Structure 1
Amino acid sequence: MRIVDTHLHLVYQERVRYPWLAGAPALNRDFTLDEYWPAAKAAGIEAALHMEVDVAEADMEAETAFVTGLGAPVVGAIAACRPENEDFPALIERYAANPGVKGLRRILHQSPDELGRRPLFQENLRRLAPLGLTFDLCVLARQLPIAIEIARAAPDVQFILDHCGVPNVKDQALDPWRADMTALAELPNVAAKISGVIAYGDPANWTVADLRPFVEHTIEAFGWDRVVWGSDFPVCTLTADLTRWVAATHELIAGASDDEKTKLLSTNAERIYKITA
């Protein structure tokens, strides 16, 4: 069954700067398309969206230009942005001129909680709708109420919640994550991404059973028409590898129909992110 990976990170340190990598020694090296693609292809991945890698702010557009120029299997990019900045409208006009840019993201889980609540931040996000650009929400589980505020403030924008809302899988902390996910799913302009969860389990010994309640509740809350899949490569390599995460995904959805599996693994991504062949 073909897979569209909606969350591929590539690292090319000679091209752009990644300040955060200095504090992440296990990831502080290049992760190239040549490394990703053989394992991805063998696992059934046929296309991928590049997800911005929190590069230095001055390098955001350079990263986007580079990855959208790579060609197949990279079919588009989620570009970095700063909605809190006054120059955001000009930035997104430049992004919108690049057909490879499908959406934007501003990481919030390492930012002050008030950032996403700023009036300018929310006003700027509303500018994405006329341009047909999505916005990926990357928040901690405790920040899900903030994600609800952001999505509610821009009802015409398509949002995608990354990593099942970053739950604490290791401690099986289902609540209040579960209630907050249900509340977020009530907003029709939000979809959820089944990605990243292996990074939040026991790094030495996570199991599919550990992941199951979080993945199943996400799918139950959002429904099969509003879920997509992502590898979170290379972050997934911290606790497993791409092959194992794909295998775990297939095990998690084994009881679903072929139509439901196809929606999660490819067709929802193509519709939500406007990916064309």
Structure 2
Amino acid sequence: MRIVDTHLHLVYPDRFSYPWLADVPALAHPFPAEPYFAEAAALGIEAALHMEVDVAEADQEGETRFVTTLDPRIVGAIASGRPERADFPAQLERLAAIPGVKGLRRILHTSPDDLSEPALFAENIRRIAPLGWTFDLCVLARQLPVGRRLAERCPDVQFVLDHCGVPDIAAKAIDPWRAEIAAIAALPNVAAKISGIVAYAGADWTVDDLRPYVEHVIACFGWDRVVWGSDFPVCTLTADLSRWVAATHDLISGTSADEQAKLLHRNAERIYHLA
């Protein structure tokens, strides 16, 4: 079963500045394309979307230009932007001129909860709808209502909820995350990404630790609104790419070939307009 990885981070410290990596020394070194694809190819990953890596603001557009020309297996990029600012339309125009951009992300899980509340933020997010772009929604479990309110105000924008809504799997915290996932899944313009959860599962995670979270997300969103992502190299904090792919296959082993194809590549190609 071929896989489209919708959440690949590549790190090039010689080219770009990543201020947040000062707090994560395990990730504070190069993660270039070549070793990722060497491992990924053997796992059935044939294509990947590059997800912005929260570079310094001065490097945002440079990162997007760089990754979209780096390797033909990188079939698109989710760019970083600042929709809370009045000059966002000019930034959007510059990003839209870069071939291969498929969507936008503004990190919210490390931002104040009210960052996305002003009318200007939603107004600017609505500007991406005519481009056919997605907005990847990265919020903590407690911020799921924040993400839901934003998606409600932008009904014509396709949102993708990153990392299953960032549940605290290590603490086995399932409520109120469970109810909030059901609430945001009720919005037809939101899809969910099965990604990133091993980083929140503790060093000794098992597939059974992940199972109730993944199964709940799929039950709420349905097989037509889920995509898969590696969250490489963040996944290496508690595993490696191969182990996460193996865990994914284990988690969906009892499902049909059609359902697996939807999760692993078909939905990504439709939602991110890759085909």
TM-score strictly above 0.5: yes
The match for 1:224 is 223
**In structure 1, how many angstroms separate the alpha carbons of the residues matched to 2:123 and 2:236?**
37
**In structure 2, how many angstroms separate the alpha carbons of the residues matched to 1:242 and 1:87?**
38
The match for 1:268 is 267
**In structure 1, how many angstroms separate the alpha carbons of the residues matched to 2:217 and 2:33?**
30
SS in 2 for 1:254: coil
Deviation sequence 1:35-68 (CA, Å, 0-9, x none): 1011100111000000000000111000000000
**2:232 alignment partner AA:** F
Deviation at residue 82 of structure 1 after TM alignment: 0.6
The match for 1:181 is 181
Correspondence list, 1:1-277, <5 A: 1-203=1-203, 205-276=204-275
SS in 2 for 1:86: coil
**In structure 2, how many angstroms separate the alpha carbons of the residues matched to 1:202 and 1:25?**
17
Retained in 1: the 8 A contact 2:104–2:133? yes
Farther off after superposition, 182-191 or 87-96: 87-96
**In structure 1, how many angstroms separate the alpha carbons of the residues matched to 2:265 and 2:146?**
28
Structure 1, unaligned runs of 5 or more? none
**In structure 1, how many angstroms separate the alpha carbons of the residues matched to 2:69 and 2:99?**
11
Retained in 1: the 8 A contact 2:33–2:71? no
**In structure 2, how many angstroms separate the alpha carbons of the residues matched to 1:68 and 1:53?**
14
**In structure 2, how many angstroms separate the alpha carbons of the residues matched to 1:230 and 1:113?**
25
**1:143 alignment partner AA:** Q
Deviation at residue 188 of structure 1 after TM alignment: 0.4
Retained in 1: the 8 A contact 2:140–2:165? yes
Deviation at residue 99 of structure 1 after TM alignment: 2.8
SS in 1 for 2:106: strand
**In structure 2, how many angstroms separate the alpha carbons of the residues matched to 1:252 and 1:92?**
38
**1:52 alignment partner AA:** E
**In structure 1, how many angstroms separate the alpha carbons of the residues matched to 2:46 and 2:88?**
33
**In structure 2, how many angstroms separate the alpha carbons of the residues matched to 1:92 and 1:253?**
38
Deviation at residue 243 of structure 1 after TM alignment: 0.2
Deviation at residue 91 of structure 1 after TM alignment: 1.2
Structure 2, unaligned runs of 5 or more? none
**In structure 1, how many angstroms separate the alpha carbons of the residues matched to 2:191 and 2:99?**
22
**In structure 1, how many angstroms separate the alpha carbons of the residues matched to 2:115 and 2:259?**
36
Deviation at residue 98 of structure 1 after TM alignment: 2.3
Deviation at residue 152 of structure 1 after TM alignment: 0.3
**1:271 alignment partner AA:** R
SS in 1 for 2:179: helix
SS in 1 for 2:163: helix
**In structure 2, how many angstroms separate the alpha carbons of the residues matched to 1:212 and 1:264?**
15
Deviation at residue 149 of structure 1 after TM alignment: 0.3
The percentage of aligned residue pairs carrying the same residue is: 68
Deviation at residue 123 of structure 1 after TM alignment: 1.0
**In structure 2, how many angstroms separate the alpha carbons of the residues matched to 1:177 and 1:259?**
28
**In structure 2, how many angstroms separate the alpha carbons of the residues matched to 1:11 and 1:76?**
16
SS in 2 for 1:49: strand
Deviation at residue 156 of structure 1 after TM alignment: 0.1
Deviation at residue 86 of structure 1 after TM alignment: 1.1
Retained in 1: the 8 A contact 2:141–2:166? yes
Deviation sequence 1:156-212 (CA, Å, 0-9, x none): 000000000000101111110000000000000000000001111121x10000000
**1:24 alignment partner AA:** V
Count the aligned residue pairs. 275
**In structure 2, how many angstroms separate the alpha carbons of the residues matched to 1:69 and 1:86?**
29
**In structure 2, how many angstroms separate the alpha carbons of the residues matched to 1:34 and 1:113?**
37
Retained in 1: the 8 A contact 2:5–2:49? yes
